[in-house]
Amino acid sequence: MRSKLIVWLIEWLSRLPLWVNQHLGVLFGWVLYHFSNRERDTARVNIKLCFPQLTTAQQEQMLRLNLIESARTLFELPAHWRRGVRYVDELLQLGEGAELPEQMLRQRRGLIFLTPHLGAWELGAHYIARLAPTTILYRPPREPALEHIITRGRAQSGARPVPTSPSGVKALYQALHRHEIVGILPDQQPRHASKSAGVFAPFFDIPALTMVLVNRLVRQTGAAVLYTYVERLPAASGYRMHFFSAPDGVDDPDPVVAATALNQGVEACVRRCPLQYQWSYRRFSVRPDGGRSPYKR
Protein backbone atom coordinates (compact mmCIF):
# COMPACT_ATOMS: atom_id res chain seq x y z
CA MET A 1 0.00 0.00 0.00
CA ARG A 2 2.80 2.40 0.92
CA SER A 3 4.61 1.77 -2.36
CA LYS A 4 1.45 2.31 -4.40
CA LEU A 5 0.79 5.59 -2.60
CA ILE A 6 4.31 6.83 -3.31
CA VAL A 7 4.04 5.94 -6.99
CA TRP A 8 0.62 7.64 -7.26
CA LEU A 9 1.86 10.80 -5.53
CA ILE A 10 4.92 11.06 -7.79
CA GLU A 11 2.78 10.56 -10.88
CA TRP A 12 0.33 13.25 -9.74
CA LEU A 13 3.04 15.78 -8.89
CA SER A 14 4.82 15.15 -12.19
CA ARG A 15 1.79 16.45 -14.10
CA LEU A 16 1.56 19.79 -12.31
CA PRO A 17 3.01 23.00 -13.82
CA LEU A 18 6.37 24.09 -12.44
CA TRP A 19 4.93 27.17 -10.74
CA VAL A 20 2.40 25.02 -8.87
CA ASN A 21 5.08 22.63 -7.61
CA GLN A 22 7.23 25.55 -6.52
CA HIS A 23 4.33 27.13 -4.62
CA LEU A 24 3.71 23.80 -2.92
CA GLY A 25 7.38 23.86 -2.03
CA VAL A 26 6.99 27.25 -0.38
CA LEU A 27 4.09 25.95 1.69
CA PHE A 28 5.89 22.76 2.70
CA GLY A 29 9.08 24.70 3.46
CA TRP A 30 7.07 26.93 5.81
CA VAL A 31 5.80 23.81 7.58
CA LEU A 32 9.33 22.39 7.85
CA TYR A 33 10.57 25.61 9.41
CA HIS A 34 7.78 26.08 11.96
CA PHE A 35 7.41 22.50 13.20
CA SER A 36 10.10 20.31 14.74
CA ASN A 37 11.59 17.77 12.31
CA ARG A 38 14.91 16.15 11.47
CA GLU A 39 15.47 18.16 8.28
CA ARG A 40 15.14 21.49 10.08
CA ASP A 41 17.31 20.42 12.99
CA THR A 42 20.05 19.07 10.72
CA ALA A 43 20.06 22.12 8.45
CA ARG A 44 20.23 24.42 11.49
CA VAL A 45 23.30 22.58 12.81
CA ASN A 46 25.02 22.64 9.41
CA ILE A 47 24.37 26.33 8.82
CA LYS A 48 25.65 27.18 12.29
CA LEU A 49 28.80 25.13 11.70
CA CYS A 50 29.53 26.37 8.18
CA PHE A 51 28.57 30.03 8.58
CA PRO A 52 29.77 31.02 12.07
CA GLN A 53 30.32 34.59 10.86
CA LEU A 54 26.55 35.09 10.55
CA THR A 55 24.50 36.31 13.47
CA THR A 56 21.88 33.99 14.95
CA ALA A 57 19.16 36.00 13.20
CA GLN A 58 20.96 35.74 9.86
CA GLN A 59 21.42 31.99 10.33
CA GLU A 60 17.70 31.59 11.03
CA GLN A 61 16.80 33.58 7.94
CA MET A 62 19.12 31.40 5.87
CA LEU A 63 17.57 28.30 7.42
CA ARG A 64 14.03 29.42 6.59
CA LEU A 65 14.87 30.24 2.97
CA ASN A 66 16.91 27.07 2.56
CA LEU A 67 14.05 24.84 3.75
CA ILE A 68 11.81 26.47 1.15
CA GLU A 69 14.37 25.79 -1.59
CA SER A 70 14.81 22.20 -0.40
CA ALA A 71 11.05 21.69 -0.47
CA ARG A 72 10.92 23.11 -3.98
CA THR A 73 13.53 20.56 -5.02
CA LEU A 74 11.41 17.80 -3.51
CA PHE A 75 8.24 18.84 -5.33
CA GLU A 76 10.06 19.37 -8.65
CA LEU A 77 11.70 15.94 -8.70
CA PRO A 78 8.69 13.95 -10.01
CA ALA A 79 8.53 16.08 -13.16
CA HIS A 80 12.29 15.78 -13.66
CA TRP A 81 11.97 12.00 -13.47
CA ARG A 82 8.78 11.57 -15.48
CA ARG A 83 8.28 14.38 -18.01
CA GLY A 84 11.06 13.52 -20.45
CA VAL A 85 13.78 15.34 -22.34
CA ARG A 86 11.55 17.90 -24.04
CA TYR A 87 10.36 19.18 -20.68
CA VAL A 88 13.97 19.63 -19.58
CA ASP A 89 14.95 21.39 -22.80
CA GLU A 90 12.18 23.92 -22.34
CA LEU A 91 13.40 24.89 -18.87
CA LEU A 92 17.18 24.44 -18.90
CA GLN A 93 19.62 27.06 -20.14
CA LEU A 94 23.41 26.99 -20.08
CA GLY A 95 25.40 29.41 -17.95
CA GLU A 96 29.03 29.85 -17.02
CA GLY A 97 31.56 27.47 -18.54
CA ALA A 98 29.14 26.01 -21.09
CA GLU A 99 32.00 25.42 -23.52
CA LEU A 100 34.03 23.27 -21.11
CA PRO A 101 32.34 19.85 -21.51
CA GLU A 102 32.90 19.61 -25.25
CA GLN A 103 36.46 20.91 -24.87
CA MET A 104 37.20 18.17 -22.34
CA LEU A 105 35.53 15.44 -24.39
CA ARG A 106 37.67 16.31 -27.41
CA GLN A 107 40.72 15.29 -25.37
CA ARG A 108 39.51 11.67 -25.55
CA ARG A 109 40.45 10.73 -21.98
CA GLY A 110 37.12 10.32 -20.23
CA LEU A 111 35.24 12.96 -18.25
CA ILE A 112 33.98 12.91 -14.67
CA PHE A 113 31.12 15.27 -13.81
CA LEU A 114 30.88 16.11 -10.12
CA THR A 115 27.42 17.38 -9.20
CA PRO A 116 26.85 18.44 -5.57
CA HIS A 117 23.37 18.31 -4.01
CA LEU A 118 22.77 21.89 -5.09
CA GLY A 119 19.78 23.41 -6.86
CA ALA A 120 17.96 21.14 -9.32
CA TRP A 121 20.83 18.65 -9.36
CA GLU A 122 18.78 15.84 -10.94
CA LEU A 123 18.46 17.84 -14.17
CA GLY A 124 22.18 17.80 -14.88
CA ALA A 125 22.15 14.16 -15.99
CA HIS A 126 19.62 14.90 -18.72
CA TYR A 127 22.02 17.35 -20.34
CA ILE A 128 25.35 15.56 -19.98
CA ALA A 129 23.97 12.21 -21.14
CA ARG A 130 23.41 13.68 -24.58
CA LEU A 131 27.02 14.81 -24.91
CA ALA A 132 28.42 11.26 -24.82
CA PRO A 133 27.56 7.84 -23.35
CA THR A 134 27.13 8.43 -19.61
CA THR A 135 27.27 6.23 -16.52
CA ILE A 136 25.86 7.68 -13.28
CA LEU A 137 26.63 6.34 -9.82
CA TYR A 138 23.72 6.33 -7.36
CA ARG A 139 23.08 5.14 -3.83
CA PRO A 140 19.94 2.94 -3.77
CA PRO A 141 17.16 4.59 -1.74
CA ARG A 142 15.73 3.03 1.40
CA GLU A 143 12.26 2.91 -0.15
CA PRO A 144 12.28 0.12 -2.79
CA ALA A 145 9.44 1.69 -4.76
CA LEU A 146 11.59 4.73 -5.44
CA GLU A 147 14.53 2.92 -6.98
CA HIS A 148 12.78 1.98 -10.21
CA ILE A 149 11.33 5.49 -10.56
CA ILE A 150 14.70 7.15 -9.96
CA THR A 151 16.72 4.90 -12.25
CA ARG A 152 14.15 5.09 -15.03
CA GLY A 153 14.00 8.87 -14.66
CA ARG A 154 17.76 9.26 -14.80
CA ALA A 155 17.96 6.94 -17.79
CA GLN A 156 15.38 8.74 -19.93
CA SER A 157 18.10 10.82 -21.62
CA GLY A 158 20.23 7.74 -22.23
CA ALA A 159 22.31 7.67 -19.03
CA ARG A 160 23.15 4.34 -17.43
CA PRO A 161 22.57 4.37 -13.65
CA VAL A 162 24.75 1.99 -11.62
CA PRO A 163 24.56 1.40 -7.84
CA THR A 164 27.26 2.06 -5.26
CA SER A 165 28.47 -1.53 -5.33
CA PRO A 166 31.65 -3.24 -6.59
CA SER A 167 29.99 -3.90 -9.93
CA GLY A 168 28.82 -0.28 -10.15
CA VAL A 169 32.30 1.08 -9.43
CA LYS A 170 33.75 -1.33 -11.98
CA ALA A 171 31.33 0.09 -14.56
CA LEU A 172 32.72 3.59 -13.88
CA TYR A 173 36.27 2.50 -14.62
CA GLN A 174 35.15 0.75 -17.79
CA ALA A 175 33.26 3.82 -18.99
CA LEU A 176 36.24 6.11 -18.45
CA HIS A 177 38.58 3.71 -20.24
CA ARG A 178 36.17 4.00 -23.19
CA HIS A 179 36.55 7.82 -22.96
CA GLU A 180 32.94 8.24 -21.88
CA ILE A 181 31.27 10.35 -19.16
CA VAL A 182 30.82 9.41 -15.51
CA GLY A 183 28.54 11.31 -13.10
CA ILE A 184 29.11 11.32 -9.33
CA LEU A 185 27.58 13.19 -6.38
CA PRO A 186 30.83 14.19 -4.62
CA ASP A 187 29.36 15.35 -1.31
CA GLN A 188 27.91 12.02 -0.22
CA GLN A 189 29.53 10.83 2.98
CA PRO A 190 31.09 7.33 2.79
CA ARG A 191 29.81 4.81 5.29
CA HIS A 192 33.15 4.60 7.08
CA ALA A 193 36.73 5.90 7.00
CA SER A 194 39.27 3.68 5.23
CA LYS A 195 41.86 3.86 2.46
CA SER A 196 39.34 2.43 0.01
CA ALA A 197 36.27 4.41 1.12
CA GLY A 198 36.95 7.82 2.61
CA VAL A 199 39.31 10.12 4.48
CA PHE A 200 38.72 13.26 6.53
CA ALA A 201 39.26 16.56 4.74
CA PRO A 202 38.01 20.10 5.44
CA PHE A 203 34.64 21.22 4.13
CA PHE A 204 33.80 24.75 5.21
CA ASP A 205 36.81 24.36 7.56
CA ILE A 206 35.21 21.36 9.31
CA PRO A 207 36.65 17.83 8.99
CA ALA A 208 34.27 15.84 6.81
CA LEU A 209 34.52 12.20 5.80
CA THR A 210 35.12 12.47 2.05
CA MET A 211 35.12 9.86 -0.71
CA VAL A 212 38.39 8.76 -2.28
CA LEU A 213 36.67 7.23 -5.32
CA VAL A 214 37.10 10.30 -7.52
CA ASN A 215 40.85 10.43 -6.81
CA ARG A 216 41.23 6.74 -7.64
CA LEU A 217 39.25 7.08 -10.88
CA VAL A 218 41.32 10.04 -12.03
CA ARG A 219 44.66 8.48 -11.15
CA GLN A 220 43.90 5.15 -12.81
CA THR A 221 42.18 6.41 -15.97
CA GLY A 222 43.60 9.91 -16.54
CA ALA A 223 40.06 11.32 -16.81
CA ALA A 224 39.31 15.03 -16.77
CA VAL A 225 37.07 16.46 -14.02
CA LEU A 226 34.37 19.12 -14.17
CA TYR A 227 32.02 20.44 -11.51
CA THR A 228 28.48 21.35 -12.45
CA TYR A 229 25.33 22.53 -10.72
CA VAL A 230 21.86 23.55 -11.88
CA GLU A 231 20.65 26.82 -10.37
CA ARG A 232 16.93 27.35 -9.83
CA LEU A 233 15.88 30.67 -11.37
CA PRO A 234 13.30 33.02 -9.82
CA ALA A 235 9.55 32.98 -10.49
CA ALA A 236 9.44 29.46 -11.99
CA SER A 237 11.35 30.73 -15.04
CA GLY A 238 13.50 27.60 -15.30
CA TYR A 239 17.06 26.61 -14.48
CA ARG A 240 20.62 27.55 -15.43
CA MET A 241 23.44 24.98 -15.58
CA HIS A 242 27.01 26.07 -14.75
CA PHE A 243 30.35 24.29 -15.27
CA PHE A 244 33.71 24.76 -13.53
CA SER A 245 37.13 23.14 -13.79
CA ALA A 246 38.24 21.12 -10.78
CA PRO A 247 40.78 22.62 -8.37
CA ASP A 248 44.37 21.42 -8.63
CA GLY A 249 45.00 18.38 -6.49
CA VAL A 250 42.11 16.03 -7.21
CA ASP A 251 44.66 13.68 -8.78
CA ASP A 252 47.22 14.01 -5.98
CA PRO A 253 48.74 10.71 -4.76
CA ASP A 254 48.03 11.78 -1.18
CA PRO A 255 44.32 10.92 -0.60
CA VAL A 256 43.89 13.69 1.99
CA VAL A 257 45.27 16.32 -0.40
CA ALA A 258 42.98 15.00 -3.13
CA ALA A 259 39.94 14.93 -0.83
CA THR A 260 40.69 18.49 0.27
CA ALA A 261 40.71 19.62 -3.36
CA LEU A 262 37.49 17.69 -4.00
CA ASN A 263 35.75 19.51 -1.13
CA GLN A 264 37.13 22.86 -2.26
CA GLY A 265 35.35 22.39 -5.57
CA VAL A 266 32.08 21.49 -3.85
CA GLU A 267 32.38 24.44 -1.48
CA ALA A 268 33.06 26.83 -4.37
CA CYS A 269 29.81 25.73 -6.03
CA VAL A 270 27.84 25.98 -2.77
CA ARG A 271 29.11 29.49 -2.00
CA ARG A 272 27.72 30.65 -5.34
CA CYS A 273 24.23 29.45 -4.44
CA PRO A 274 24.15 28.67 -0.69
CA LEU A 275 20.39 28.82 -0.19
CA GLN A 276 19.84 26.00 -2.69
CA TYR A 277 22.25 23.52 -1.09
CA GLN A 278 20.93 20.43 0.69
CA TRP A 279 21.89 21.52 4.21
CA SER A 280 19.50 18.91 5.63
CA TYR A 281 22.04 16.18 4.76
CA ARG A 282 24.07 14.95 7.74
CA ARG A 283 27.44 15.66 6.17
CA PHE A 284 29.37 15.66 9.46
CA SER A 285 27.75 12.72 11.27
CA VAL A 286 30.96 10.64 11.28
CA ARG A 287 33.66 12.39 13.30
CA PRO A 288 37.42 11.80 13.45
CA ASP A 289 38.52 9.40 16.18
CA GLY A 290 34.92 8.37 16.83
CA GLY A 291 33.86 11.77 18.15
CA ARG A 292 30.26 12.65 18.94
CA SER A 293 28.03 13.58 16.00
CA PRO A 294 26.92 17.23 16.13
CA TYR A 295 23.39 16.09 15.22
CA LYS A 296 22.89 14.17 18.46
CA ARG A 297 20.96 16.06 21.08
What is the separation of C-alpha 132 from the centre of its chain, rounded to a whole number of angstroms? 20
Say what percent of the chain tops pLDDT 70: 99
pLDDT for 294:
95
Q: What is the mean pLDDT of residues 55-60?
A: 98
pLDDT above 90 (res 271): yes
The pLDDT tens digits of the residues spanning 131-158 come to 999 999 988 777 777 777 778 877 788 8
In whole angstroms, what is the distance from residue 166 CA to residue 209 CA? 20
Q: pLDDT band for 1, please (50, 70, 90 cuts).
A: low
222 contacts 108 by C-beta, under 8 angstroms? no
Domain ranges of the chain: 2-284
Q: What is the CATH number of domain 2-284?
A: 3.40.1130
Measure the CA–CA gap between 235 and 251, rounded to whole angstroms: 40
Residues 114, 266 contacting (CB under 8 angstroms): yes
Lowest mean pLDDT among 4-13, 92-101, 109-118, 209-218: 4-13
What tens digit of pLDDT does each residue of 195-238 get? 778 999 999 999 999 999 999 999 999 999 999 999 999 999 99
Q: What pTM, to 2 d.p., does this model score?
A: 0.93
Q: Give buried/exposed letters for 83-107 (b at 16+ CB in 10 A, else e).
A: beeebbeebbeebebeebbeebbee
Instruction: Let me know: does 251 contact 215? Beta carbons within 8 Å.
Output: yes
The angle at the Cα of 197, spanning 191 to 202, to the nearest 5 degrees, equals: 85
- What is the distance between the alpha carbons of residues 121 and 61, in angstroms, rounded to a whole number? 23
The amino acid at residue 2 is: R
Order of strands, edge to edge, in the sheet holding 134-138? 92-94, 239-245, 224-232, 111-114, 181-184, 134-138, 160-163
Cβ-based burial of 283 (10 A; exposed 0-12, middle 13-18, buried ≥19): buried
Q: What is the pLDDT of residues 227-267, one digit of tens each?
A: 999 999 999 999 999 999 999 999 999 999 999 999 999 99
